[in-house]
Structure 1
Amino acid sequence: MWAWYLLLVPIFGVIYRAWSKRRRRMQLLVSKLSAQDWATVIDWVPLVAKLPPELQGRLQGKMNLFLSQVRIYGKNGVVVDREVELSLSAQACLLIVNSDVWYNTLHTVLLYPGAFHSKQQRQDGYLVTETKEVRLGESWRHGPVVLSWPHAEQGGVNDEDGHNLILHEFAHQLDALSGDTNGVPILAKGQSHQDWEAAIMRGYEAHVANVGRNRKTVLDSYAATNYVEFLAVSIEVFFEKPEKFHEEYPEVYKQISILLNLDPLAWG
């Protein structure tokens, strides 16, 4: 009898912890920010004011869940205050505000006071070389996300220039949830892989051709780097320049809209 009891206690402990975690998650997802916090979000990330009321409420819950999971650290003098937490989490959660996708493996974000050096390794056969690159942001598959905070902050404040560092790096996080950062994220239920790949490939090839001809488009030339960067830059302009993006890349706009279950064109 006592042997069974001793065996069951740890099992019930595991079940209870799992239940408590799920319950806490559900509570956070339906929780709201204070009026003061929400006013701060609107000031720092005016894009969210365009969201329909239902999505504004959903965003607040996801922000609370995000901040309960992810630790934000300032490096080299960057101070992480409430405004920084709200700005960053609002932009990060905007991508997933209307989907069931979550940044399951992300627990750390690092903020630098400007561009930073990143060590990169490249392998050619048995030869591995290490170089240092200057970057404004980077996203690792299981975290962390690393950002130049001044550039990230400006991306949130200016919601019409088509450049948003946080949206860009968290698009990479979204992409990586499929198991590899390759421009093919976990698609929405019922979304066709064939349609996704066809739209991204055609859009990317058209953009590369435009860049080669020095033809200006809504997308930054950096989107011509590869499919991964094409997707990340496309998500930036999907939110910030939806009309122009839809006009120039309608197939890509449609697929990203299905993926995120969002349509900024309808926000007015």
Structure 2
Amino acid sequence: MFKWLRRLRALPSIPEDAWQATLARYAFLGELPHDMQLRLRTLSAEFLRDKEFHGTQGFVITDEVALAIAAQAVLPILNLKGGLDWYDDFVGIVVHPSEVVARRKIVDEAQVVHEYDEVVAGEAMDRGPVMLSWQDVLASGITTGGGYNVVIHEFAHKIDMRAGDADGCPPLPPGFAGKRSAREARAAWLAVLQPAYEDFREKTILAERFGAEPPWLDDYGAVSISEFFAVACEAYFVNRTAFARDFPSVLALFDEFFGRGQA
């Protein structure tokens, strides 16, 4: 509500030394073409203008923290029509110093309630804030080999949720994949993503149960197709070479959606 009021504020200035330090720490940002870096910087400033950061457990939000999160958060929407409108369902970003334990409750098919604890590095809440572990955000500068990036993961969920429940299929633009209707576009999307997810899940199961070689991609992607989408987005943006080798069909799908060909 009243987001237009926030847009009236002047963009915050990002000091050159702070920007260069961010590009150096997160090499996948520093490797972007110069024109993309310029757009990334502008969009990062818009993100910093519109979002509110909150530290927990005494954690202090410094310029380094806010800029690192902003620059990685806007990378997926850099070429998406609408820009920051993809993230207009929330304002707050909660940063913990490290991973946190979240209490979960699920009801199985027999209507039996199960409660358990889950250690999480981040969480994106539908129409709510995004939670991140600074320890994991910082580690994203050295975990690109495994395609890991907690910021991109959680903001990929936000993109997915724009269509409603997180189900691995974000809202698709008119004419996506040459389809005339949203229903046909969604079917085309899932025709690529669903088999890729099922194949990844099978490989993960074979590794866990029978000692087969585990996939290099984070096995959390085997939990559900929505988690596979988020995990795949991480690798797509931070380790394109390995992702292209093992997921060529998903790479082409993501290229069309995220506008990589427009870069």
TM > 0.5 fold call: yes
Amino acid at match of 1:204: Y
- Aligned partners of 2:222 and 2:4: how far apart in 1? 46
CA apart distance, 1:157: 4.8
Q: What runs of 5+ residues in structure 1 fail to find an aligned partner? A: 1-16
CA apart distance, 1:43: 2.7
Superimposed CA distance per residue, residues 222-268 of structure 1 (whole angstroms, 9 cap, x where no aligned partner): 211110111111111112221221121111111111111126xx99x
CA 20–88 in structure 1, closer or farther in 2 if over 3 Å, else same: closer
Of 230, 233, 238, the residue aligned with 1:232 is 230
The match for 1:103 is: 87
State whether residues 32 and 57 of structure 1, in contact with CA within 8 Å, keep that contact through their aligned partners in structure 2. no
The match for 1:13 is: none
Matched, 1:156 2:137: no
CA 220–18 in structure 1, closer or farther in 2 if over 3 Å, else same: closer
CA 56–188 in structure 1, closer or farther in 2 if over 3 Å, else same: farther
Matched, 1:39 2:20: yes
Amino acid at match of 1:39: Q
The match for 1:3 is: none
State whether residues 114 and 150 of structure 1, in contact with CA within 8 Å, keep that contact through their aligned partners in structure 2. yes
The match for 2:164 is: 179
Amino acid at match of 1:43: A
State whether residues 95 and 260 of structure 1, in contact with CA within 8 Å, keep that contact through their aligned partners in structure 2. yes
State whether residues 146 and 217 of structure 2, in contact with CA within 8 Å, keep that contact through their aligned partners in structure 1. no
Number of aligned pairs? 245
CA apart distance, 1:18: 8.2
Matched, 1:117 2:94: no
Amino acid at match of 2:80: S
The match for 2:194 is: 201
TM-score, normalization by structure 1: 0.82
- Aligned partners of 1:113 and 1:21: how far apart in 2? 28
- Aligned partners of 2:39 and 2:13: how far apart in 1? 8
Q: What runs of 5+ residues in structure 2 fail to find an aligned partner? A: 177-184, 208-212
CA 250–126 in structure 1, closer or farther in 2 if over 3 Å, else same: closer
The match for 2:52 is: 71
User: 2:77 is paired with a residue of what secondary structure?
Assistant: coil
Superimposed CA distance per residue, residues 159-188 of structure 1 (whole angstroms, 9 cap, x where no aligned partner): 443111111111111111111111111124
Identity of aligned residues (%): 29
Question: Which shifted more, 230-239 or 126-135?
Answer: 126-135
State whether residues 146 and 216 of structure 2, in contact with CA within 8 Å, keep that contact through their aligned partners in structure 1. no
- Aligned partners of 1:18 and 1:171: how far apart in 2? 21
Amino acid at match of 1:165: V
The match for 1:251 is: 249
The match for 1:221 is: 219
State whether residues 6 and 49 of structure 2, in contact with CA within 8 Å, keep that contact through their aligned partners in structure 1. no
CA 234–126 in structure 1, closer or farther in 2 if over 3 Å, else same: closer
User: 2:231 is paired with a residue of what secondary structure?
Assistant: helix
- Aligned partners of 1:176 and 1:203: how far apart in 2? 20
- Aligned partners of 2:251 and 2:78: how far apart in 1? 17
Of 5, 19, 30, the residue aligned with 1:49 is 30
Aligned-pair Cα RMSD in Å: 2.5
TM-score, normalization by structure 2: 0.83
Question: Which shifted more, 163-172 or 36-45?
Answer: 36-45
CA apart distance, 1:85: 0.7
